[in-house]
Structure 1
């Protein structure tokens, strides 16, 4: 019997020759490193745990084809599961449930694993992925806390704890775990990410910008999601400081163009371009390049959070395929499994209609539809920072439709909580001028 890099016993049927590839997946996955995909080189090894890991990598494509590509590997894993340990069997079953679109079962299995095998941090991080996509931050915190007494020596666990605490609004706890992770290993990009969330939420814009600039030198060898997403966070800080040229450079050099065919890189780019426009900056013809990569997404309907951003990108590029995507979202809402039907019907459909209306200048309709969806937007997943895009669009639609008192009611608390944001102060100044309150603005901004 061999053990993986975290000390978990593993069953390998062709000797230990594939153990380095398994460890590349184990360590690479929890460290957000590209080497996790090295496990593909073990595709001919029948060891069930290796086959399940390969299936999981396929599922992270987050596309309509992902389960199809994962299924041969998960079937081989299931066929040999009886020869493996209880921990491996549960991991295999969780990946199989994911491939079968039974995410509630996958979550239950990952929760069991966190209690019974708390050093299986791959299972823990997969559980975080599913819980995050359902807007269940307390669940993320619960399973990470279960592992803490047994895996506190692993910096990546503290990164996971940091993000779970942050999503539960435990900002002080989040910062403590992020800084502990970074003290243990400076190259811990998920901890960098969690701390960036804390600083953005607390209005520490200048500090956050400097912090990410300092640690960015460690972002080597990461998967495309992690490196582009951390640069996306740096771009958010720059945008709050009204540094549009820097944001555009970051978009072109660091956020877009690393893996243009990958879902997460695409939504990073959509979100950043939309935020630039909402801040009043011209993004040139960048929507058109992005839209060419979104055309293949019209039939995905894997996660509503992704579909909504694809919709913004296609609509802002003026592509008629936005209507195809909207029709497919509505069709998905009518046929989705019971455990996810409500989020598609009650949140994604009105949000999608509102976003499409906003992108086409139909601002009254955008306010109406987004106003219906926003109170439940947590259910589509994504982080607070990511979902803020939809709130910004709603605010913009309020202003453009002449609903200025409502806009003021939303904007002023943001200005007070983000005193370093030049973007918000500028937006507030314009709104107060439109309200005939320019003199009062001097005391409010």
Structure 2
């Protein structure tokens, strides 16, 4: 039985297929190229290669998209009969749990793999993604810390472990360590888009606008070409320009970088919805065409209900486009998901996704007091429906604008004080403070 780069036994592989598998893993870790195509080439070279089938399943599941479940299950079924090691069997069990919507169980199985096989970079990345999708900031950091003693710079995917650790450190507010770890990962492999993204998160959380623009712009040749994270990293760059009130530039980047390809990849559509809503909250003229295009792109997902974070961002597009038909369908999907038994997304939806959706609908209808009540009830637990601090900032931005429109000046002043602690030079936060201070003084 052959062994991979980490010394892990692999069933059914030959040297050609194993090399392709290693290439696909490297692509997945950096989000470059087409790892699915490479994994399928490995399967074609060695049809009995269990881990190649499992990599294909994991790739389909990693996008958190409903159409990926059926092909993932096909690969899981194939791998089940081919697995010859406990590690391979656990990968199949973890993938099966993910496909069934039991995210917590899948996360635990990836941990089970890593306890005995800490150098399994695929298990580490899939577990890390589940930590992100579930908003588990502690495990984003600690899952990597638990295995790192078994790693070393000689392993080809060491940069990926460091990039994941950097993101976990950022989400647990250890910004100095996060930045230095992320920069080290980028030095080891300049194409590691996840590591670049971790550093961008640090600078976003600290309000370091000029540093963020410089980091993203200078290193654009590393993270942008042929990369699945490109649009998300463009989104981060746009956040900095938004902090500078450069709305015209943000809209140009939205048209060229975010929606130029009319992507229907879930992460790309989430970024588009989040950016348009931020502009909408600022009163920027977006234009009906942008909202209409995005709502149409989202419309194929309206009945999916597999992940509340997706559903809420789809709802944002429908609200912006005035598509009441899709708004009603999305709300029904959320209610159905919240009631589904033995399904991780049920709790995510019931506790956070549905209340947030109801708050956004209230905001859109001008019912700002209702929006405030609903968002205040969930903001301290919003991590439970996934995403990062930067992404969930959409809820705080909506709350603070609802407070302004409701003329709740005490709340507006309180929220502004909170925001200025993290971003003391933010033009938006300073404007809110001025508005609130003037109203309170009056």
TM class by shorter-chain length? over 0.9
Correspondence for 2:31: 32
- Structure 1 unaligned residues grouped into runs of 5+: 438-445
Correspondence for 1:256: 259
Q: Is the 8 A contact 2:100 2:343 kept in 1?
A: no
Mapping for residues 387-406 of structure 1, pairs under 5 Å: 387-406=392-411
Q: Choose the corresponding residue for 1:296, options 296, 300, 307.
A: 300
Q: Choose the corresponding residue for 1:233, options 216, 221, 236.
A: 236
Q: Is the 8 A contact 1:2 1:9 kept in 2?
A: yes
Q: Distance in 2 between matches of 1:268 and 1:190?
A: 16
Q: Distance in 2 between matches of 1:72 and 1:339?
A: 22
Of 343-352 and 421-430, more deviation after overlay is shown by 421-430
1:173 maps onto 2:177 in alignment: yes
In structure 2, the CA distance between the partners of 1:60 and 1:339, relative to structure 1 (3 Å rule), is: closer
Q: What SS is found at the alignment partner of 1:125? A: helix
1:385 maps onto 2:390 in alignment: yes
Mapping for residues 201-350 of structure 1, pairs under 5 Å: 201-224=205-228, 226-258=229-261, 260-285=263-288, 286-320=290-324, 321-337=326-342, 339-350=344-355
Give 1:309 deviation, angstroms. 1.0
Q: Normalising to structure 2: TM-score of the pair?
A: 0.93
Cα shift readout 1:322-360 (whole Å, capped 9, x = no counterpart) = 111001101211224265433322222211111112123
Correspondence for 1:442: none
Correspondence for 2:191: 187
Correspondence for 1:48: 50
Mapping for residues 365-376 of structure 1, pairs under 5 Å: 365-376=370-381
1:111 maps onto 2:111 in alignment: yes
Correspondence for 2:64: 62
Q: Is the 8 A contact 1:204 1:420 kept in 2?
A: no
Give 1:211 deviation, angstroms. 1.1
Mapping for residues 5-20 of structure 1, pairs under 5 Å: 5-13=5-13, 15-20=14-19
Q: CA RMSD in A?
A: 1.9
Q: Distance in 2 between matches of 1:37 and 1:369?
A: 41
Cα shift readout 1:212-236 (whole Å, capped 9, x = no counterpart) = 1111111244443x11111110000
Q: What SS is found at the alignment partner of 2:196? A: helix
Q: Distance in 1 between matches of 2:409 and 2:128?
A: 39
Give 1:31 deviation, angstroms. 1.3
Q: Choose the corresponding residue for 2:82, options 65, 80, 98.
A: 80
Q: Normalising to structure 1: TM-score of the pair?
A: 0.92
Q: Is the 8 A contact 2:17 2:43 kept in 1?
A: no
Give 1:435 deviation, angstroms. 4.0
Cα shift readout 1:223-270 (whole Å, capped 9, x = no counterpart) = 43x111111100001110111122112211222234621110000000
Q: Distance in 2 between matches of 1:358 and 1:430?
A: 20
Cα shift readout 1:1-52 (whole Å, capped 9, x = no counterpart) = 3333444332234x22322331222111111213312213345423221111
